[in-house]
Structure 1
Amino acid sequence: MRHLFHLCACLLLSLTAQAQTQTFDLSRQSKADKPFSFSVAVPDGNYRVTVELGSKSHEGNTMVRAESRRLFVEDTPTKRGKFKTFSFVVNKRSPYITDKERVKLKPREKDYLDWDDSLNLEFTGPHPAVRRVTITPDTTAVTLFLCGNSTVVDQPYDPYASWGQMITRWMDDGYAVANHAESGLTASSFYFQNRLDKILSMMRPGDYVFCEFGHNDQKEKTPGSGAWYNFSYMLKTYIDKVRAKGGNIVFVTPTQRRAFDNSHQHILETHGDYPDAMRAVAKREHVPVIELHDMTRTFFETLGYEGSKRALVHYPANTWPNQPKALADNTHFNPYGAYEVAKMVVMGMKSLNLPMINGLRDWKDFDPAHPDDPQFFRWTPSVRVDVVKPDGN
């Protein structure tokens, strides 16, 4: 896929912790009719963002993403002189917990937009047209904190994507999604890198913490590792700490790998006892469970051996810049696959009757046995592209 666009503008403006609503005129940045970014330096927290899409001078078709490619508004056409307004809540964070404690970031994370000092917006689509942006500190939205690995994380670069950066598409402005997942992590490494501590420092009573682990945990070989001892112990630790702060915890069983049996009809179970261990801890501790493990199995088997490649990072050589070799990754999703898996997570929320389902935006129920046709999925690639495989498998 050839990129015909470049980063046109990136504004850096300051907004103090006590700031009131501020509005920024972006009509000049939109005149070039090319994707551009907009950044505002803000403290950690949730921010209500209102975008007015459209232009007085030309037709537009705009997609809105925030931070590391969290999807909020899909392609939205606007006629010349006509405007459409959308409002959503973006969570912004930094690595700092206290003046003496911080998240232990991996070296590559230091360049991620999720961890910088700014709230970042990206306006893409076939013909981006933005009139103005309004940003207001928000203290009322319920926050959904995400813990997990590369199948959950806000993947910073195309062609990779994960469900955590797509689920924002359907959350109304009463909810914020704070995705703290990172590629290659286990329940233990996530915890000992102070990532749960960062969540707890920002969490308020009534917020939610969603945990999806298992992919990388099964590769731990240290003394005491295993599904029924260290993994189960760490899950119990998450439960106790989240509940002690007045939060609600939800488990998400791991996504399947695209590993078919010899008949090419059925997915092999490659996660050992880890999904069952998660279920057992959840049952004992009365934790709700979203069965993503089962839904992604159905999804892959429905698409079939060849069709399932279209949900993952499978691309011929030279599809992307600096990609001399073919990509054949059977773990990590592309934007279409991540979008479909995010729908499964929403359906899991519905099966548990969690409160955030009462305000879903533009939602239509989804069945992984009847997935969306990938040829009709629309995604304008980001200005940030890197074909280096994320950590973890």
Structure 2
Amino acid sequence: MKRLILTIGFFIQFCSHILFAEQIVREFRFGDAKKDRNVNFLRAAQAYRDTQGYGFEFSTEKNVSINQKNKTLLSEKPFYFAVKVPEGNYRVTITYSGLQNKSYNSTIRSESRRLHIENQQVQPKQSLEKNFIVNIKDPKISSGGIVGLKKPREQQKLDWDDKLTLEFQQTNCISMIRIESINVIPTIFLAGNSTVVNQEDEPWASWGQMIPRFFDAGIAIANHAESGLALSSFLSSRRLTKILSIAKPGDYLFIEFGHNDQKEKGENAGAYKGYSERLRYFVSEFRAKGGIPVILTSTARRSFDEQGHLIHTLGDFPDAARKVAAELQVPLIDLNKKTSIFYEALGVEASKSAFVHYPAHTFPNQQNDLADNTHFNAYGAYEIAKMVLMGIKENKLSILGNIVDFDVYDPHYPDDFKAWYWPPSLINSVVKPDGN
């Protein structure tokens, strides 16, 4: 009887979410056209204005030209286009137009550098439509209070503002951008630290911002991770409360912590004490919402001894995560094991190519060498996202059918770093993310 009441409650919550959510549609086309109240026609590239609710960001309107005859937006330089929208999941549709005499390649990211479209080729004189989902979040919690964002860094992130921002890279010839809210869609929530978060600044990156690229428009990725967090600070900053306030039955919660939990002091500190207790709490609270929790062991740090053997620096935390997953019968993705294999496969020197290891002056305003053995660059984050996908396959999770452009991945045989391409974003920083 209790189970029946809970099921009815979940059903009512789900239906209410569908019935009372406002449908939002914003469509943008280019060049002169007859007036249409449902379409915004951009005759020239204009900077974002809050009163208008859309426009180009970071002064990139100068990188864009609008062809009145062909009714297309054309650019061979990076640009950002933003639209003011409330919190929710949005299906973004991009309609490409082919150039007359050559093919071109496009990459699109959203918000704080979440990858969606990767090096997409568009053939001459052909149109192409691509769809993807962007999750928009705000700090407000429906039950009261707000998420405790870190000051000032997190408060300035595109992930937390009131706009949906699209970052276009490489060449783009576009006839339409359409943004529409979508309510009936499973969401994968991500809870974690700097190895999971959407890193806004080059050259830092994490697997959470790469994994949207491998899901179709039937899944949303809501990344609530942040640099420097442990399970305890994720709770105290009300991030789990925020997730629980918007989660629906059938949603997923991927949980990866450990790096910063090692710093905890006190009587209840330790992998088999406070860390394990909090993991159990995350699992039980999300299950109470009708959701499906997944535990991930922490990504390994890059640390080799003099003989070239990997040093395991996370102590008992990966083992504790495995034990909690087995105890509660939670799907486990063993990133600690997979990343360890990955580093060893690359070797001592070549494994630097997966981390933020760059000589001085590689990036603007970078006066000194960068040598970080915890935080990944775009290549490393991309490879780890593939390890997460393999974990989804190994656990035969229901979201398996929504994975696209991916078959298998073996960390013993990583992708060739030299053959991998990532057009760098305009936003960069030499400041190391919080946490280690």
Give the TM-score normalised by the residue count of structure 2.
Answer: 0.83
1:50/1:32 Cα in 2 relative to 1: closer, same or farther (>3 Å)?
closer
**Contact residue 140 and residue 174 of structure 1 kept, 8 A:** no
Match of 1:357 in 2: 400
Q: How does 1:1-393 map to 2 (within 5 A)?
A: 18-25=22-29, 29=64, 30-54=73-97, 60-98=104-142, 100-107=144-151, 108-125=153-170, 127-264=171-308, 266-393=309-436
Root-mean-square deviation (CA), in Å? 1.7
Supply the AA of the counterpart residue of 1:363: F
CA-CA distance at 1:133 after TM superposition: 1.0
Match of 1:14 in 2: none
Q: What is the percent sequence identity of the aligned residues?
A: 49
Q: Which portions of structure 1, spanning 4 or more consecutive aligned residues, are displaced by more than 6 angstroms? A: none
**For the residues of structure 2 that align with 1:131 and 1:337, how far apart are their CA atoms?**
34
Q: Larger C-alpha radius of gyration, 1 or 2?
A: 2
**Contact residue 111 and residue 166 of structure 2 kept, 8 A:** yes
**Contact residue 61 and residue 129 of structure 1 kept, 8 A:** no
Q: Aligned with 2:380: secondary structure?
A: helix
**Contact residue 89 and residue 176 of structure 1 kept, 8 A:** yes
CA-CA distance at 1:55 after TM superposition: 5.0
**Contact residue 144 and residue 208 of structure 1 kept, 8 A:** yes
Instruction: Kindly provide the CA deviation profile for residues 144-168 of structure 1, in whole angstroms up to 9, marking residues without a partner as x.
Output: 0000000000000110000000011
Which ranges in structure 1 are unaligned for 5 or more consecutive residues? 1-16
1:188/1:223 Cα in 2 relative to 1: closer, same or farther (>3 Å)?
same
Q: Aligned with 1:305: secondary structure?
A: coil
Which ranges in structure 2 are unaligned for 5 or more consecutive residues? 1-20, 32-43, 45-63, 65-72
Supply the AA of the counterpart residue of 1:315: Y
Higher RCO, 1 or 2 (CA under 8 Å, sep at least 6)?
1
Matched residue pairs, number? Answer: 376
**For the residues of structure 2 that align with 1:48 and 1:318, how far apart are their CA atoms?**
38
**Contact residue 143 and residue 245 of structure 2 kept, 8 A:** no
**Contact residue 45 and residue 202 of structure 1 kept, 8 A:** no
Instruction: Kindly provide the CA deviation profile for residues 106-152 of structure 1, in whole angstroms up to 9, marking residues without a partner as x.
Output: 01111101111111111112x23322111111112210000000000
Supply the AA of the counterpart residue of 1:381: P
**Contact residue 74 and residue 174 of structure 2 kept, 8 A:** no
Give the TM-score normalised by the residue count of structure 1.
Answer: 0.92
